[in-house]
Amino acid sequence: MQGKVIFRQLFDKETSTYTYLLADAQLGEALLIDPVYENVDRDQKLLGELGLTLKYVLDTHAHADHVTGAGALRERTGAKTGIAATAGVKCADLNLKEGDRISLGQLSLRVLATPGHTAACLSFYDGERVFTGDSLCIRSAGRCDFQGGSSAVLFESIQEKLYRLPDDTLVYPGHDYQGFTVSSIAEEKKFNRRIRATTSVAEFSATMHALKLDPPKRIHVALPANLECGKPQIQSA
Ligand SMILES: [Fe+2]
Protein backbone atom coordinates (compact mmCIF):
# COMPACT_ATOMS: atom_id res chain seq x y z
CA MET A 1 0.00 0.00 0.00
CA GLN A 2 2.93 2.33 0.70
CA GLY A 3 3.43 4.94 -2.00
CA LYS A 4 0.14 4.27 -3.70
CA VAL A 5 -2.23 5.79 -1.20
CA ILE A 6 -2.66 9.55 -0.90
CA PHE A 7 -3.50 10.72 2.61
CA ARG A 8 -4.36 14.23 3.83
CA GLN A 9 -5.54 15.49 7.23
CA LEU A 10 -7.71 18.62 7.01
CA PHE A 11 -8.88 20.83 9.87
CA ASP A 12 -11.96 22.94 10.63
CA LYS A 13 -10.92 25.87 12.83
CA GLU A 14 -14.45 26.65 14.06
CA THR A 15 -15.19 23.20 15.53
CA SER A 16 -11.67 21.65 15.73
CA THR A 17 -12.89 18.85 13.45
CA TYR A 18 -10.55 16.74 11.37
CA THR A 19 -11.55 15.63 7.89
CA TYR A 20 -9.50 12.93 6.18
CA LEU A 21 -8.87 12.39 2.50
CA LEU A 22 -7.68 8.96 1.35
CA ALA A 23 -7.16 8.04 -2.27
CA ASP A 24 -5.62 5.47 -4.54
CA ALA A 25 -3.10 7.45 -6.57
CA GLN A 26 -3.07 5.21 -9.62
CA LEU A 27 -6.83 4.89 -9.81
CA GLY A 28 -7.32 8.61 -9.10
CA GLU A 29 -10.26 7.87 -6.80
CA ALA A 30 -10.78 9.24 -3.31
CA LEU A 31 -12.92 9.11 -0.22
CA LEU A 32 -13.46 11.64 2.55
CA ILE A 33 -14.12 10.90 6.19
CA ASP A 34 -16.12 13.43 8.26
CA PRO A 35 -16.22 16.45 5.94
CA VAL A 36 -17.63 19.69 7.37
CA TYR A 37 -20.39 21.49 5.45
CA GLU A 38 -18.66 24.89 5.55
CA ASN A 39 -15.46 23.40 4.07
CA VAL A 40 -16.97 21.68 1.06
CA ASP A 41 -15.47 24.24 -1.37
CA ARG A 42 -12.00 23.74 0.13
CA ASP A 43 -12.27 19.96 0.01
CA GLN A 44 -13.56 19.92 -3.56
CA LYS A 45 -10.77 22.28 -4.66
CA LEU A 46 -8.14 20.00 -3.11
CA LEU A 47 -9.61 16.94 -4.83
CA GLY A 48 -9.42 18.83 -8.13
CA GLU A 49 -5.83 19.92 -7.54
CA LEU A 50 -4.82 16.33 -6.81
CA GLY A 51 -6.69 15.07 -9.88
CA LEU A 52 -8.98 12.86 -7.79
CA THR A 53 -12.57 11.76 -8.33
CA LEU A 54 -14.57 11.54 -5.11
CA LYS A 55 -16.28 8.14 -4.77
CA TYR A 56 -17.28 7.92 -1.10
CA VAL A 57 -18.07 10.29 1.75
CA LEU A 58 -18.10 8.54 5.11
CA ASP A 59 -19.24 9.82 8.49
CA THR A 60 -18.03 8.18 11.68
CA HIS A 61 -21.35 9.16 13.30
CA ALA A 62 -24.19 11.69 13.23
CA HIS A 63 -22.25 14.64 14.60
CA ALA A 64 -23.73 16.97 17.20
CA ASP A 65 -21.28 19.84 16.81
CA HIS A 66 -21.10 20.45 13.06
CA VAL A 67 -23.09 19.79 9.91
CA THR A 68 -21.68 17.10 7.65
CA GLY A 69 -20.60 17.99 4.13
CA ALA A 70 -21.73 14.55 2.90
CA GLY A 71 -24.98 15.58 1.23
CA ALA A 72 -23.49 18.66 -0.45
CA LEU A 73 -20.51 16.67 -1.75
CA ARG A 74 -22.83 13.96 -3.08
CA GLU A 75 -24.87 16.58 -4.93
CA ARG A 76 -21.74 18.08 -6.48
CA THR A 77 -19.77 14.94 -7.32
CA GLY A 78 -22.14 11.95 -7.34
CA ALA A 79 -20.11 10.30 -4.55
CA LYS A 80 -21.90 7.79 -2.35
CA THR A 81 -22.45 8.68 1.31
CA GLY A 82 -22.00 6.15 4.11
CA ILE A 83 -22.76 6.06 7.82
CA ALA A 84 -23.73 3.35 10.33
CA ALA A 85 -26.91 1.49 9.39
CA THR A 86 -28.12 2.13 12.92
CA ALA A 87 -27.58 5.91 12.80
CA GLY A 88 -31.06 6.56 11.39
CA VAL A 89 -29.85 8.47 8.33
CA LYS A 90 -32.31 7.28 5.70
CA CYS A 91 -30.78 9.33 2.88
CA ALA A 92 -27.38 7.57 3.16
CA ASP A 93 -26.33 5.42 0.20
CA LEU A 94 -24.32 2.94 2.29
CA ASN A 95 -25.68 1.61 5.57
CA LEU A 96 -22.45 0.44 7.15
CA LYS A 97 -21.86 -2.21 9.80
CA GLU A 98 -19.03 -4.12 11.47
CA GLY A 99 -16.85 -5.98 8.99
CA ASP A 100 -17.91 -4.06 5.86
CA ARG A 101 -15.13 -2.91 3.55
CA ILE A 102 -14.81 0.24 1.48
CA SER A 103 -12.22 -0.31 -1.23
CA LEU A 104 -10.59 1.90 -3.85
CA GLY A 105 -7.75 0.13 -5.62
CA GLN A 106 -4.95 -0.43 -3.11
CA LEU A 107 -6.93 1.29 -0.38
CA SER A 108 -9.22 -0.86 1.73
CA LEU A 109 -10.99 0.44 4.83
CA ARG A 110 -12.49 -2.01 7.28
CA VAL A 111 -15.53 -0.79 9.16
CA LEU A 112 -15.36 -1.25 12.94
CA ALA A 113 -18.46 -0.72 15.04
CA THR A 114 -17.25 1.33 18.02
CA PRO A 115 -20.41 2.49 19.82
CA GLY A 116 -20.46 4.34 23.13
CA HIS A 117 -19.95 8.02 22.28
CA THR A 118 -23.17 7.53 20.33
CA ALA A 119 -25.02 4.26 19.85
CA ALA A 120 -24.01 4.20 16.17
CA CYS A 121 -20.34 5.23 16.02
CA LEU A 122 -17.97 3.67 13.53
CA SER A 123 -14.20 3.64 13.15
CA PHE A 124 -12.40 2.94 9.87
CA TYR A 125 -9.17 0.92 9.74
CA ASP A 126 -6.89 0.76 6.70
CA GLY A 127 -4.24 -1.59 8.09
CA GLU A 128 -1.92 1.16 9.32
CA ARG A 129 -4.24 3.96 10.44
CA VAL A 130 -7.49 3.96 12.37
CA PHE A 131 -9.96 6.83 12.06
CA THR A 132 -11.72 6.81 15.39
CA GLY A 133 -14.21 9.69 15.17
CA ASP A 134 -15.15 10.67 18.71
CA SER A 135 -14.74 7.16 20.17
CA LEU A 136 -11.04 7.34 20.98
CA CYS A 137 -9.40 10.76 20.95
CA ILE A 138 -5.78 11.67 21.63
CA ARG A 139 -5.35 11.26 25.42
CA SER A 140 -9.13 11.38 25.67
CA ALA A 141 -12.42 9.69 24.72
CA GLY A 142 -15.72 11.06 23.48
CA ARG A 143 -18.46 12.12 25.86
CA CYS A 144 -21.20 9.57 26.42
CA ASP A 145 -24.08 11.71 27.69
CA PHE A 146 -26.37 11.97 24.65
CA GLN A 147 -27.39 10.22 21.39
CA GLY A 148 -27.62 6.86 23.11
CA GLY A 149 -24.12 7.15 24.52
CA SER A 150 -22.89 4.77 27.22
CA SER A 151 -19.58 4.74 29.06
CA ALA A 152 -19.77 0.95 29.55
CA VAL A 153 -20.31 0.43 25.83
CA LEU A 154 -17.54 2.86 24.89
CA PHE A 155 -15.20 1.10 27.33
CA GLU A 156 -15.78 -2.17 25.51
CA SER A 157 -15.34 -0.59 22.06
CA ILE A 158 -11.99 0.88 23.09
CA GLN A 159 -10.60 -1.96 25.20
CA GLU A 160 -11.89 -4.89 23.16
CA LYS A 161 -11.63 -3.48 19.67
CA LEU A 162 -9.46 -0.38 19.24
CA TYR A 163 -6.81 -1.34 21.82
CA ARG A 164 -6.56 -4.78 20.17
CA LEU A 165 -5.32 -3.27 16.91
CA PRO A 166 -1.54 -3.50 16.42
CA ASP A 167 0.32 -1.17 18.78
CA ASP A 168 1.87 0.80 15.93
CA THR A 169 -1.51 1.61 14.35
CA LEU A 170 -1.76 5.36 13.96
CA VAL A 171 -4.79 6.94 15.64
CA TYR A 172 -6.50 9.77 13.77
CA PRO A 173 -9.40 11.19 15.81
CA GLY A 174 -12.42 13.25 14.77
CA HIS A 175 -11.39 16.27 16.81
CA ASP A 176 -8.54 17.67 18.80
CA TYR A 177 -8.63 20.74 21.02
CA GLN A 178 -5.01 20.61 22.27
CA GLY A 179 -3.11 20.77 18.99
CA PHE A 180 -2.43 17.06 18.61
CA THR A 181 -2.85 15.58 15.14
CA VAL A 182 -2.00 11.90 15.43
CA SER A 183 -1.21 9.27 18.07
CA SER A 184 -0.77 5.51 18.17
CA ILE A 185 -2.59 2.65 19.86
CA ALA A 186 0.49 1.97 22.04
CA GLU A 187 0.62 5.62 23.14
CA GLU A 188 -3.06 5.74 24.05
CA LYS A 189 -2.96 2.44 25.94
CA LYS A 190 -0.22 3.96 28.06
CA PHE A 191 -1.04 7.65 28.35
CA ASN A 192 -4.75 8.23 27.64
CA ARG A 193 -6.01 10.18 30.65
CA ARG A 194 -9.54 8.71 30.50
CA ILE A 195 -8.87 5.13 29.45
CA ARG A 196 -5.56 3.28 29.52
CA ALA A 197 -5.09 -0.44 28.90
CA THR A 198 -5.21 -0.96 32.67
CA THR A 199 -8.32 1.16 33.34
CA SER A 200 -11.36 -0.74 34.65
CA VAL A 201 -14.90 -0.17 33.45
CA ALA A 202 -15.82 1.24 36.88
CA GLU A 203 -12.95 3.74 36.74
CA PHE A 204 -13.83 4.78 33.21
CA SER A 205 -17.53 5.20 34.00
CA ALA A 206 -16.69 7.29 37.08
CA THR A 207 -14.41 9.51 34.98
CA MET A 208 -17.02 9.99 32.28
CA HIS A 209 -19.89 10.63 34.69
CA ALA A 210 -17.82 13.25 36.51
CA LEU A 211 -17.49 15.31 33.32
CA LYS A 212 -19.83 18.25 33.51
CA LEU A 213 -19.95 19.33 29.91
CA ASP A 214 -22.27 21.86 28.31
CA PRO A 215 -24.23 20.56 25.32
CA PRO A 216 -22.49 21.27 21.99
CA LYS A 217 -23.40 24.82 20.89
CA ARG A 218 -24.92 23.76 17.58
CA ILE A 219 -26.55 20.47 18.59
CA HIS A 220 -30.09 21.65 17.76
CA VAL A 221 -29.00 22.61 14.25
CA ALA A 222 -26.39 19.94 13.58
CA LEU A 223 -28.24 16.80 14.67
CA PRO A 224 -31.42 17.24 12.63
CA ALA A 225 -29.36 18.37 9.64
CA ASN A 226 -27.06 15.36 9.87
CA LEU A 227 -29.97 12.92 10.00
CA GLU A 228 -30.79 14.40 6.56
CA CYS A 229 -27.19 14.03 5.23
CA GLY A 230 -26.47 17.67 6.18
CA LYS A 231 -28.98 19.38 3.93
CA PRO A 232 -28.22 23.11 3.82
CA GLN A 233 -31.85 24.20 4.17
CA ILE A 234 -32.06 22.43 7.51
CA GLN A 235 -28.77 23.94 8.60
CA SER A 236 -30.22 27.48 8.36
CA ALA A 237 -33.60 26.56 9.92
FE1 LIG B 1 -19.45 13.46 18.15
Distance from the CA of 151 to the center of ligand 1, in angstroms? 14
Distance from the CA of 224 to the center of ligand 1, in angstroms? 14
**How many other C-beta atoms lie within 10 A of the C-beta of residue 30?**
27
> What would the pLDDT profile of 94-137 be if each residue is shown by its tens digit?
999 999 999 999 999 999 999 999 999 999 999 999 999 999 99
Distance from the CA of 25 to the center of ligand 1, in angstroms? 30
> What would the pLDDT profile of 178-213 be if each residue is shown by its tens digit?
999 999 999 999 999 999 999 999 999 999 999 989
Per-residue pLDDT at 3: 55
> What would the pLDDT profile of 62-87 be if each residue is shown by its tens digit?
999 999 999 999 999 999 999 999 99
Give, to the nearest 10 degrees, the angle between helix 40-49 and helix 70-77.
Answer: 40
Report, in this order, helix, strand and coil percent for the chain, each rounded to 5.
Answer: 30, 30, 45
Mean pLDDT of 158-187: 98
Distance from the CA of 117 to the center of ligand 1, in angstroms? 7
Which residues crowd ion ligand 1, with CB under 5 Å?
Answer: 134
Distance from the CA of 51 to the center of ligand 1, in angstroms? 31
Distance from the CA of 72 to the center of ligand 1, in angstroms? 20
Per-residue pLDDT at 158: 98
Mean pLDDT of 29-36: 98
